[in-house]
Chains A and B, each alone.
Chain A
Amino acid sequence: MSAFYDHFSRHAHGEGIKARSTHYCPGCGHGVAHRDLAAAIDELGIQDRTVLISPVGCSVFAYYYFDVGNSQAAHGRAPAVALGHKLAHPEAVVISYQGDGDLASIGLAETISIAQMGLPITVIFINNAIYGMTGGQLAPTSLMGQKTSTSPDGRVAAMGQPLKMAELIASLDGPVYVERVALFSARERVKARKAIKKAITNQVEGRGYSFIEIISECPTHLKMSPQEAEEWVKTKMEPVFPLGVKKDLTVEPWFKRGAPSFEPEAVLGLSGAERLDEDKPRTIANWPDHLPVRDIAIKLAGSGGDGAQTAALLLTRTAISVGFDATAIPSYGPESRGGTSYADVHIAEQEVLNPAASEPQVLVAFNAPSLAKFAPTVPAGGLILYDSTVVTDPGRLPAGRRILPIPLTRIAADLGRPMVKNVVALGALQSALNLLPEDSLVATLRHVLHDKPALLPLNESAYAAGRAAVESALAPA
């Protein structure tokens, strides 16, 4: 049997008899299932490709014995580990070998969710109705009335009734093949072998996920001889866990995955990167001398639909495109659902140090609550620009700040789309501040709308109208 190591060098360092014998108790069903699994691997000629996931439980050391790629998983997580292996290397034949505590208790979420994904892996489930490794405690598959060290008076319904995993898995849409088999007689062992082979074949051929439940003997914790344990599985377990095929779909091979791409063009394109175009005319701006600071904080605030976030990003993008540093931080989460939505923008000649705008030199307020909330944070000498269509009564605004009431909504509405009031605001801001080079924002608009050219004229008009509104407001009477 070549799927077993010649020499179990991982078992007690392969010394003495352990080099060729298992750690399992005499008569343990795990050993029988191991031989079935090894036979299937041999017959299918997939030893090199096989990756076996050992669980936590008595079969934690399955990797001592199988001469295949081995990975030992945390308790209950073997199917997740198996999925990781399968997606990393789809040609690998990945087998998750698990006991009842592992698969049907602590790992239930992984078991079900990964079965439902239906990717071609093979799960071998050893159900012996008891916890072996930890010493005979109640398992999710223990029988009603079964006495275990944690159900000393026998299992009652309030401890949960035996989970019928094969039926549960078969009820999912993901798996293609589910069968429950047993080891208690020569006849059943022949069927078990066939089932395991078929479950692996389904994977090798890319047909889908298969699940084999093997009802099995734990003579030690049943406190029986192996023969009595076989009899117990046959007469007591089998009626609760009926044997047979629970699901067997005819599915054509479908699982085929290409090797991941490392094409620079593809990766850059999907990342939104654009080739540097040396010939592209570009404006490199000098920091405007009329501004007293080299790092200006701008807060744009409104309600959810006002477009403050978009305006912030347009501003940031434009500033970066002309060689400044810039950042934008949105308010996010529940705050941004419905209520106020604000964004902090910084534009700096060199490096934005502090990206927060807790004391913004410029406030653009799209509604009254935003104006009321943030106007007091604007330091002396700052600029407060607000939508005078919406805010008809600005209340008392702090003295010593430039106040610019601009009817953003009305201007946008006159253009036919109230939504573009944020772009109107950007035009207004540009005329009020003269921070960015002439028309650099229009260049950004062109850039971001290159695949929606129909929207460009409207946005350009909005921007121009915003500029005009401020210029006429500032014009000497």
Chain B
Amino acid sequence: MSVAPRPKPFLEPQYCKGCLRCIEACPRECITPGSEINPATGLVPVELHLENCNGCTLCLQACPEPYGLRLETDPPAPAFAPNGDFELEDPAKLFGERCVANYSEGDQPDDQIALPACEPLVLKGTYASAIGALLAGCRHVFGYPITPSTEGAELMAKILPKLDGAFVQAVSEVAAVNMMYGAGGAGLPCMTFTSSPGFSLMLEGISYMIGAEVPGVFVNIMRAGPGLGNIAPEQADIKLACRGLGHGNTRALVLAPSTPQEMLDLTREAFALSFRYRNPVIILGDGYLGQMTGMVKLPPTMTRPGLPAWAVWGDRAHRHNLISSIALAEADLETHNQHLNRKYAAISACEQRVECHRCSDAEVLVVACNTPARMAKGAVEAARAQGVKAGLFRPITIWPFPIDTLAEILPGVERIVVVEAGPGQLEDELRLALSHAGIAPPPIDHVRRCGGILPAQSAILEGILQGEEVLS
């Protein structure tokens, strides 16, 4: 019985790096070091003498180059002109259907599933946020326990296995954010609950997510710092979220809820924004809000997420895709940054959100967000009761700062009072936004507490009435 001879190797000299690993691999001494420099590569390719070759392929297994040694049955490589352009003999064959850009079938859209009307829930902020995420279609939560955010993760750990979702308690926040990079890169909504020190650890991963345009939602229940600080509420990560999301040109929408209801609504919305812009979204709550129980009404629908065309899902339709934050050539990275800048500009233009309470005729404008905004609202009412025209300007997005609305209000305002449970990071955002917009503001005073103490309504009222720095 005659056996068809096995195919033998062949070499396209320009793809051989002359490493000689194949020589020792060949039991029949078919390969010898070359003697001529290849003009295209400047390297010396080996030479094949295949008289004794039995097609054992051991030389192929030794070759580090995918297109170094190959079998004669493999298709030949396309030829390349010295200037780097291809000679397109047969484009379809050259690229193969695997390499066609936009090979994917396009986005599979989300479904909105109607929910029956429900009684209002009575929930604490972290739980409300978790339920908001469930209703946004999030079934993948990655986290590391840290007070005062852990209850959100605990609720997810309880619920998700029953919905065939996944909650993973990672070895650290660093691992957690990178699990998000994976699940988000696969095109699914995912999130974490964390608090300030943990958020610091996640910043590297957030930079990668922004660079690679991976969506994901970060709920940071801020606590007091620096360092280990304590676990009481402080608005001390505004700087990190607005200005310091890891290295490089990074920006993310920063949402600041002030009620358990908003914890649900804004978490839900954060997922939509995150996918709309292919960018992480940060929710900054404070320890008070995370623990605060209040009334929460459920929305009329739940999202069943589709799958975006860009996802690295692990099927044929998405095989061409790549999630990566590398652009090795400087020009490529500049182009990528310009693309990101256009995205940031679109977010700045379209996503500013604010609640204005009694702002239309306000002479003293209180600027506050999160729980301190509620104390401030109480103080504004108290000031009004005393005949002082006070108003509350409550940014719901801190980045982008709602400067457009502020610009409309400011002409009638005589004084701004920034109220913060923190060292002045909201005021920095306000001043930066004013400065970028070229607006000369009226005098800016502030009422600040930190270390975990919230400004009391009475102190804010005093700040409104007297226009003095009450505490810094």
Contacts and interface: CB of A to CB of B under 8 A. Distances in A.
B314 A93 contact: yes
A92 B314 contact: yes
A353 B381 contact: yes
A190 B61 contact: yes
Given A17-B41, A80-B179, A353-B378, A89 B292 contact: no
B99 A5 contact: yes
B281 interface: no
Nearest to A30: B64
A267 B116 CA distance: 12
Contacts of B379: 354
Q: Which of B63, B65, B115, B208 is the most central at the interface, judged by chain A CB atoms within 10 Å of its CB?
A: B65
B62 A186 contact: yes
A86 B302 CA distance: 24
A330 B291 contact: yes
A257 interface: yes
Contact of A70 (B134, B321, B458): B321
Contacts, number: 368
Contact of A313 (B78, B122, B232, B260): B122
A24 B17 CA distance: 10
Q: Which of A27, A81, A93, A227 is the most central at the interface, judged by chain B CB atoms within 10 Å of its CB?
A: A81
A34 interface: yes
Given A353-B378, A356-B456, A83 B168 contact: yes
B182 A88 contact: yes
Contacts of A258: 164
Given A80-B182, A84-B182, A260-B164, A32 B62 contact: yes
Given A17-B80, A27-B20, A316-B122, A65 B66 contact: yes
Contacts of A69: 312-315, 318-319, 321
Interface in B149-197: 158-159, 162-166, 168, 170-172, 174-176, 178-188, 190
Interface in A37-78: 38, 47-51, 53-54, 60-61, 63, 65, 67-74, 77
A110 B456 CA distance: 44
Contacts of B94: 6-7
A256 B248 CA distance: 40
Interface residues of A, number: 119
Interface string A1-43: 1101111011011011101111011111111101110100000
Interface stretch (A239-247, A320-328, A366-374, A416-424): A320-328
A226 B20 contact: yes
B131 interface: yes
Nearest to B114: A264
Contacts of A180: none
Given A186-B27, A271-B134, A85 B186 contact: yes
A333 B95 contact: no
20 contacts: A48-B314, A54-B324, A71-B185, A71-B322, A73-B178, A81-B182, A88-B187, A92-B186, A186-B61, A226-B20, A274-B119, A275-B116, A277-B119, A313-B122, A316-B294, A320-B295, A327-B260, A328-B292, A333-B231, A355-B371
Interface of B: 12, 14-15, 17-21, 24-25, 27, 40-41, 43, 58, 60-68, 70, 74, 77-78, 80, 82, 84-86, 94-96, 98-99, 111, 113-123, 131, 134-135, 137, 139-140, 142, 147-148, 158-159, 162-166, 168, 170-172, 174-176, 178-188, 190, 204-205, 208, 212, 230-232, 260, 287-288, 291-295, 298, 302, 304, 312-316, 318-319, 321-326, 329, 371, 374-375, 377-379, 381, 454, 456-458
